[in-house]
Amino acid sequence: MHTVLITGAAKRIGEDLAHHFAQRGWEVIIHCNNSRGDADRLSTHLRNLFEDRQFPVIAADFSDPVSASDAIFSELRILNLCPEVLINSASVFNPGLLADTSYTHLRRQMAVNFEAPFMLMKAFRQYCKKGCIVNILDTRVTSNDSRHAAYTLSKKVLMHLTEMAGLEWAPEIRVNAVAPGAVLPPPGQDETYLKDVVAGTPLKQAVSPGDLADAVWFLVNNGTITGQIIYCDGGAHLGK
């Protein structure tokens, strides 16, 4: 059975990705950190819909990327599961200009958004030997807008890692990314935030979680593509 490991899958975009793969016959390993209750509810919901699968939940805190990666892959060994796809979706998104970025803030953004995906990618390659990785970036990787400086830098480094690993790990492992524009409002913001962002994009069209999942699905299923970044952002990366 095809198996995917999705980080940050208890809620929001990660949860939508879990549904997308589950509906297409895949076993989904649901990673979470604090949202264990949501992850367990998602797992139960999917098990009720698709009784041939388990939808296991694995919790790990990415503030310690090495321990988190070790814990996830030890658990996979115990479960005797070897995913053929890894989707790095978990992230933290905190505001702050460069001038206001403390070392603690920088460390947190880098640990969760870059170092943990990197350690998981390495463990995936070592343990699973072949397959496909999709990193979820952000359309901000093309811009120097520094309102979320540490977050944007962490995603820029993850973009370069995507390309470097795509080259080094071919032909066994393909490594690609999807860079979304605004899909869901961040905590504390409402639909007005999304409307304003969408109005500033060339296509003036909202990106739904389903649009994003379609792009991920395409990368997973097209075996000729590696080191590629799909901007799923209404053209926002092109600038104004």
Ligand X SMILES: NC(=O)c1ccc[n+]([C@@H]2O[C@H](COP(=O)([O-])OP(=O)(O)OC[C@H]3O[C@@H](n4cnc5c(N)ncnc54)[C@H](OP(=O)(O)O)[C@@H]3O)[C@@H](O)[C@H]2O)c1
Q: Interface with ligand X by CB under 6 A: which residues?
A: 8, 10-14, 32-35, 61-63, 89-93, 112, 136, 138, 180, 182-184
DSSP characters for 187-236? TT--HHHHHHHHHTSSS--PPPHHHHHHHHHHHHH-TT--S-EEEESTTG
Residues 6+ apart with CB under 8 A from 165: 121, 133, 173, 175
Minimum CB distance to ligand X, residue 26 (Å): 19
Nearer to ligand X, 197 or 223 (CB): 197
Nearer to ligand X, 171 or 178 (CB): 178
Separation of CA 133 from chain center: 10
Minimum CB distance to ligand X, residue 112 (Å): 5
Minimum CB distance to ligand X, residue 92 (Å): 5
Selection from 167, 79, 68 nearest residue 118 by Cα: 68
Nearer to ligand X, 129 or 205 (CB): 205
Nearer to ligand X, 25 or 210 (CB): 210
Minimum CB distance to ligand X, residue 87 (Å): 9
Q: By three-state DSSP, how is residue 108 classified?
A: helix
Nearer to ligand X, 159 or 182 (CB): 182
Residues 6+ apart with CB under 8 A from 169: 125, 175
Residues 6+ apart with CB under 8 A from 44: none
Minimum CB distance to ligand X, residue 128 (Å): 20
Residue 133 belongs to what H/E stretch?
Answer: strand 131-136
Nearest residue to ligand X on Cβ basis: 8
